[in-house]
């Protein structure tokens, strides 16, 4: 990535925030972001989302940290990334697909010159949405338990076979970043290779999975004799584990960077408590409700404080191994606790007034956030995996 320039002044950051906020107001599509309902539901909505993402790239608000020769900004600074993310979330506008960010950084770090020239421009034009073909049945978040096979052919091409599952955005993605076992004698982290897989290739079958929130966000993907050319390999054969781990570090911090969602949850809790009643008593007058809201607000501030601290250390190059995992774990677990209480309060609270009121909207969002909250504790590596990573890499504890 490009080296960050001198820290922008508070005045310039405030001006940048104002510009981003106005850009979102002028260009965001008429699609309100909903947790657990982020994928497009039809062709019209998909076209709107792709156009919106392309505009963010064109404006330099997304992909600003790429090298300048591939479209990045010479004045890139991580604090501007944070502002863009915050303003998109606060506006409840659709946010860019996380998997695209992971794929782009993998290509920038490990892709060949030809791969960068061929695959990066369609990402910026939003012609290519990417997904991650990592998780497999019976393996959960243990992505080292790869059973999908890749066999090299005499002409240098590869044939892939196997099944991937819980693939976010697979049903509308154009490309997939696949982790495949190419050494049949290997096990665990060894003998793995990363491939760039066109999802329109012969032998690729995508089967959507409907979630508990009655949405299609994740999918099963079957690879049935998928033949790919030699230049589909990203990096070198056998380098797959280190490549994917590098990419996941970006995703894990990206998930943690969504900490502003926690603020929105607290805002919805307060809106609901102010407007509703519980057992005939205004909810905000109930001592146990006020106490719980205060406790959760403190938890949110702790998560935000860690993210703020990590960004500051990242800027000066003082970030440490495992910081991305801590960010991801802190966000995911806090989100689940806050949204779980939100669903509980929504079930207990009686609301009067029109169904399109702010309180009714908050009530619906809290329910949807709770239904989606477990996905955050799993995607990008489960909370259990995050704790194992921290134990081994941060605390240097021995494996059993």
Query: How confident is the model over 212-268, as pLDDT tens digits?
Result: 999 999 999 999 999 999 999 999 999 999 998 877 666 555 655 688 999 999 999
| C-beta separation of 330 from 383 below 8 A | no
**Is 389 found in the same domain as 247?**
yes
Chain centroid to Cα 292, Å, comes to 28
Residue 69 forms part of a structural domain: yes
pLDDT for position 147: 94
Q: Are 216 and 240 within 8 A, CB to CB?
A: no
Q: How confident is the model at residue 81 (pLDDT cuts 50, 70, 90)?
A: confident
pLDDT at 249: 64
CATH number at residue 218: 2.40.110.10
CB 272 within 8 A of CB 366: yes
Domain C-terminal end among 201, 220, 237: 237
User: How confident is the model over 163-181, as pLDDT tens digits?
Assistant: 999 999 999 999 999 999 9
Question: What does pLDDT average to over the chain?
Answer: 92
Q: Which of 221, 237, 253 is the last residue of a domain?
A: 237
On the question of pLDDT at 38 being above 90, the answer is: yes
Mean pLDDT along residues 284-295: 96
pLDDT in tens, 11-21: 999 999 999 99
Residue 340 in this model has a pLDDT that exceeds 60: yes
The two tokens of residue 35 are 């947790």
CB 340 within 8 A of CB 249: no
Grade residue 353 by pLDDT with cuts at 50, 70 and 90.
Answer: confident
Query: Domain range for residue 254?
Result: 243-394
d(CA 274, CA 281): 11
CA-CA distance, 201 to 353, in Å (whole number)? 53
Q: Establish if 109 belongs to a structural domain.
A: no
317 lies in the same domain as 386: yes
Helices 260-275 and 323-348, axial angle in degrees (round to 10): 10
Average pLDDT over residues 320-342: 90
Rounded distance, CA 276 to CA 376, Å?
28
292-312 pLDDT, tens digit per residue, is: 999 999 999 998 888 888 778
Q: Are 57 and 183 in contact (CB under 8 A)?
A: no
Interacting residues of 159 by C-beta distance below 8 A, sequence separation 6+: 150, 151, 153, 225, 226, 227, 228
Helix (H, G, I), strand (E, B) or coil at 149: strand
- State the catalytic residues: 251
Q: What is the mean pLDDT of residues 77-82?
A: 87
3-class SS at 182?
Answer: coil
Q: 3-class DSSP state for residue 162?
A: strand
Cβ distance 222 to 205 under 8 Å?
A: yes
**Which two structure tokens, joined as six digits, stand for 336?**
């689940």
- Look up residue 67 and give its two tokens: 């090298």
Does pLDDT of 6 surpass 90?
no
Beta-sheet pairing, 216-228 with 204-210: antiparallel
> Do residues 51 and 26 both lie within one domain?
yes
* Average pLDDT of the residues in 356-374: 95
| Per-residue confidence (pLDDT) for residue 209, from 0 to 100 | 96
Residue 107 domain-assigned (yes or no): no
Residue 148 lies in a domain: yes
Q: Are residues 86 and 172 in the same domain?
A: no
Q: Is 92 left (phi over 0), alpha (psi -120 to 50) or beta?
A: left
Same domain, yes or no: 30 and 168: no
> At residue 337, does pLDDT exceed 70?
yes
pLDDT at 315: 78
The tokens describing 224, both together, are 């049935």
pLDDT tens digit sequence for 194-223: 999 999 999 999 999 999 999 999 999 999
Range 315-336 average pLDDT = 86
Same domain, 385 and 250: yes
- Going by the DSSP 8-state scheme, the letter that residue 202 receives in this structure is T
- N residues, the chain: 400
CA atoms within 13 A on the CB side of 355: 0
Say if 144 falls within a structural domain: yes
My answer on whether 135 and 168 are in the same domain is yes
Q: Does some domain include residue 386?
A: yes
pTM over 0.85: yes
| Residues 220 and 277 both lie in one domain | no
The answer on 56 and 19 residing in a single domain is yes
Confirm whether 102 is domain-assigned: no
In a domain, 101, yes or no: no
Place 1 in a pLDDT band, splitting at 50, 70 and 90.
Answer: very low
- Can you give the pLDDT at residue 253? 56
Q: What is the DSSP string of 333-374?
A: HHHHHHHHHHHHHHHH-B--S-TTSHHHHHHHHHHHHHHHHH
Final residue belonging to a domain, choices 176, 202, 237: 237
């Amino acid at each position: 990535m490009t080296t960050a320039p001198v820290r922008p002044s508070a005045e310039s950051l405030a001006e940048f925030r104002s510009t981003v906020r106005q850009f979102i107001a002028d260009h965001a599509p008429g699609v309100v972001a909903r947790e657990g309902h982020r994928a497009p539901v039809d062709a019209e909505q998909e076209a709107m989302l792709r156009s919106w993402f392309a505009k963010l790239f064109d404006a330099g608000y997304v992909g600003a940290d790429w090298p300048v020769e591939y479209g990045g900004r010479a004045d890139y600074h991580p604090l501007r990334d944070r502002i863009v993310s915050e303003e998109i979330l606060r506006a409840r506008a659709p946010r860019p697909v996380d998997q695209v960010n992971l794929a782009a950084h993998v290509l920038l770090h490990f892709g060949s010159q030809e791969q960068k020239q061929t695959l990066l421009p369609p990402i910026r034009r939003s012609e290519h949405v990417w997904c991650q073909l990592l998780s497999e049945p019976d393996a959960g978040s243990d992505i080292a338990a790869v059973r999908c096979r890749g066999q090299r052919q005499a002409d240098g091409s590869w044939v892939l076979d196997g099944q991937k599952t819980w693939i976010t955005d697979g049903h509308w993605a154009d490309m997939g970043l696949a982790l495949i076992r190419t050494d049949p004698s290997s096990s665990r982290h060894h003998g793995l290779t990363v491939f760039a897989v066109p999802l329109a290739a012969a032998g690729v079958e995508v089967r959507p999975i409907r979630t508990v929130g009655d949405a299609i966000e994740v999918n099963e993907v079957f690879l049935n004799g998928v033949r790919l050319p030699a230049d589909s390999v990203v990096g070198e054969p056998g380098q797959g584990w280190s490549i994917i781990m590098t990419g996941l570090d970006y995703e894990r911090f990206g998930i943690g960077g969504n900490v502003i969602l926690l603020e929105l949850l607290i805002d919805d809790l307060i809106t609901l408590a102010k407007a509703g009643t519980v057992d005939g008593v205004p909810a905000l007058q109930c001592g146990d409700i006020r106490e719980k809201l205060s406790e959760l607000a403190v938890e949110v501030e702790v998560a935000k404080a860690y993210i703020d601290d990590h960004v500051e250390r990242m800027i000066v190059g003082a970030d440490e191994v495992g910081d991305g995992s801590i960010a991801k774990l802190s966000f995911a677990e806090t989100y689940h606790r806050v949204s779980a209480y939100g669903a509980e309060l929504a079930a207990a609270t009686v609301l009067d007034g029109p169904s399109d009121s702010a309180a009714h909207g908050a009530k619906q969002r809290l329910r949807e956030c709770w239904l989606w909250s477990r996905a955050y504790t799993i995607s990008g590596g489960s909370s259990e995996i995050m704790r194992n990573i921290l134990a081994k890499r941060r605390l240097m504890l021995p494996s059993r």
